[in-house]
């Protein structure tokens, strides 16, 4: 067997493989056997058709093509391991048969993308400073107000809406008496005094009763997020469909006990701890990104292959679509809001896709250099936990039990171990290592 290796641009390699005729001959026999099982020839059982009879029926080139496919399947994995011992293939290789003729060698070309090479610089003792978050009384009060809002009692009212009441409105917007495209909304809930709309809106609708209509004008702020309205005098046509009087529960020990706390002080302390824990996690994420960016800036990377970039872009797009769906939105509406097509958004994602790829390369390389190993029993324990979690979801359980998912879990655990070790080496305050 002869192999000619050629390095291509963007971390690709081309391998030209030649099997001498004597090496290829056993595969011709296997190809004929495989074809004879597929082709029905009168007078012969499947798989028992003599070579010459089969050649007359299907043509010799068909036998050689079948033989070539078998030979490639049997030889390609060993060739890749031998020729690329220290490189990780990405995606499926491209294969092209370049020479195939009777009584001749088989020649085929393999084109494969590889993980980019990486040469690490310093990745220890970087003294990354993590933020040390605090929680103010105002933060606790804000959360408590949100809790009270969730427990508010609303009663339909025939009186005019006053501060603290909820008024349900149909709103139509115009500029110079021309209705604005998408400038209408129905059943908009407005709580007077919260200033959800533009400044001055609450005062304009205060006192409205169910069934009442009003027209007025308001100047939109110059920095308003809707560029077509920013800094302009906008005409409003509003009608009230309902008014509700709102009564918030009293903030006291009894309310706290209803929420399974000892008293109000216990509730406030729990809220403070939860806010602090959340902010510490956010601070840790920022410090982790800062650390990985610092390591990346000191490393040298080979070119990122197109297949890897496309794969990472696909992953990021899928994540974004899931996030939009989880928030109850439609991805098509999200794109309209951004005034972008899916392809335009994908192009914008490319720098972040490259950054994510480099981060993954760093973690992988550090893990290899530091001989990080995930124990099989740890993976098995994690898989067992997931099985119990999804015991009542057969489809998810089937996925968890697959070998592909187990490799995914092992890879995630490997990454977690490497990142945890990097934090120990690089956080200025070792107590700030992962809060997650």
Strand partners, 112: 13
- Taking CA atoms, 285 is separated from 277, 279, 360, 416, in Å, by 12, 10, 16, 13
* Residue-level pLDDT at 163: 93
* Residue-level pLDDT at 52: 84
Contacts of 343 (CB under 8 A, 6+ apart): none
* Residue-level pLDDT at 157: 95
Cβ 172 vs Cβ 238: under 8 Å: yes
Contacts of 228 (CB under 8 A, 6+ apart): 180
Contacts of 56 (CB under 8 A, 6+ apart): none
Phi then psi for residue 369, to 5 deg, are -65, -40
75-97 core/surface letters (b: 16 or more CB in 10 A; e: else)? bbeebbeeeeeebeebeebebee
Q: At what angle do helices 342-369 and 403-426 cross, to 10 degrees?
A: 70
Contacts of 149 (CB under 8 A, 6+ apart): 248
Return the half-sphere exposure (C-beta side, CA atoms, 13 A cut-off) of residue 6.
Answer: 10
Query: To 5 degrees, how large is the angle CA 164–CA 226–CA 205?
Result: 30
Return the half-sphere exposure (C-beta side, CA atoms, 13 A cut-off) of residue 178.
Answer: 4
Record the pTM. Answer: 0.74
Phi then psi for residue 156, to 5 deg, are -60, 140
Which residue's structure tokens are 């977690």?
Answer: 416
15-36 core/surface letters (b: 16 or more CB in 10 A; e: else)? bbbbbeeeebeebbeebbbbbb
Q: Is 33 helix (H, G, I), strand (E, B) or coil?
A: helix
Q: Is 25 helix (H, G, I), strand (E, B) or coil?
A: helix
Q: In order of start, what are the domains of the chain with their CATH numbers?
A: 2-114 (3.30.70.1050), 153-247 (3.10.50.40), 277-432 (1.10.3120.10)
Cβ 293 vs Cβ 285: under 8 Å: no
Q: What is the rounded CA–CA span in Å between residue 35 and residue 56?
A: 13
Please provide the distance, in angstroms rounded to a whole number, between the alpha carbons at the two ends of the chain. 53
- Other beta carbons within 10 angstroms of residue 308's beta carbon come to 22
Per-residue pLDDT of the chain (436 residues; tens, 9 = 90+): 999 999 988 889 999 999 999 999 999 989 988 888 888 877 777 767 888 888 888 898 998 999 999 999 999 999 998 998 888 888 889 999 999 999 999 999 999 999 999 999 999 999 999 899 999 999 999 999 999 999 999 999 999 999 999 999 999 999 998 998 888 999 999 999 988 889 999 999 999 999 999 999 999 999 888 888 889 999 999 999 999 999 999 999 999 999 999 999 999 999 999 999 999 999 999 999 999 999 999 999 999 998 899 999 999 999 999 999 888 888 988 888 888 899 999 999 999 999 999 999 999 999 999 999 999 999 999 999 998 888 888 888 888 888 889 989 999 999 999 999 999 999 987 544 444 4
Sign of CA dihedral 311, 313, 317, 320: positive
| Alpha-helix runs per DSSP H in 370-402 | 376-389, 394-400
* Residue-level pLDDT at 430: 54
Query: To 5 degrees, how large is the angle CA 284–CA 289–CA 293?
Result: 150
Q: Is 217 helix (H, G, I), strand (E, B) or coil?
A: strand
Strand stretches in 38-105, DSSP E: 89-99
**Tokens standing for residue 55:** 């050649």
* Residue-level pLDDT at 270: 96
* Residue-level pLDDT at 228: 85
């Amino acid at each position: 067997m002869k192999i000619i290796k050629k390095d291509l641009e963007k971390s690709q390699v081309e391998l030209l493989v030649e099997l001498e005729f004597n090496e290829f001959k056993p595969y011709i026999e296997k190809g004929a056997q495989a074809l004879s099982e597929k082709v029905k020839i009168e007078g012969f059982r499947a798989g028992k058709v003599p070579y010459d009879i089969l050649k007359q029926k299907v043509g010799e080139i068909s036998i050689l093509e079948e033989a070539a496919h078998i030979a490639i399947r049997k030889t390609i994995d060993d060739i890749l391991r031998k020729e690329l011992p220290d490189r990780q293939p990405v995606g499926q290789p491209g294969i092209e048969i370049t020479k195939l003729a009777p009584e001749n060698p088989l020649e085929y070309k393999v084109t494969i993308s590889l993980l980019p090479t990486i040469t690490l610089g310093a990745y220890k003792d970087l003294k990354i400073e993590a933020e040390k978050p605090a929680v103010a009384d105002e933060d606790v009060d804000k959360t408590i107000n949100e809790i009270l809002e969730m427990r508010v009692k609303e009663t339909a009212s025939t009186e005019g809406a006053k501060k603290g009441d909820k008024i349900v409105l149909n709103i139509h917007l115009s500029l110079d008496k021309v209705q604005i495209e998408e400038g209408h909304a129905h059943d908009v809930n407005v709580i007077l005094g919260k200033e959800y709309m533009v400044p001055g809106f609450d005062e304009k609708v205060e006192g409205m009763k169910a069934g009442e209509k009003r027209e007025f004008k308001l100047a939109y702020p110059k920095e308003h997020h809707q560029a077509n309205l920013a800094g302009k005098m906008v005409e409003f046509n509003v009608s009230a469909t309902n008014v509700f009087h709102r009564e918030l529960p009293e903030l006291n020990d009894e309310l706290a006990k209803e929420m399974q706390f000892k008293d109000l002080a216990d509730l406030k302390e729990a809220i403070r701890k939860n806010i602090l824990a959340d902010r510490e996690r956010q601070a840790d994420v920022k410090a982790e990104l800062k650390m990985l960016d610092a390591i990346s800036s000191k490393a040298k990377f080979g070119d990122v292959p197109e297949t890897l970039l496309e794969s990472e872009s696909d992953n990021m797009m899928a994540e974004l679509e899931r996030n939009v769906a989880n928030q109850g939105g439609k991805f098509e509406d999200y794109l309209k809001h951004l005034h972008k097509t899916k392809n335009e958004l994908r192009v914008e994602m490319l720098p972040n896709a490259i950054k994510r790829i480099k981060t993954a390369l760093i973690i992988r390389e550090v893990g290899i250099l530091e001989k990080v190993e995930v124990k099989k029993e740890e993976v098995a324990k994690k898989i067992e936990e997931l099985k119990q979690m999804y015991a009542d979801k057969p489809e998810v359980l089937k996925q968890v039990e697959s070998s592909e998912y187990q490799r995914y879990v092992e890879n995630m655990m490997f990454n977690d171990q490497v990142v945890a070790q990097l934090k120990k080496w690089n956080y200025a305050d070792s107590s700030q290592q992962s809060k997650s």
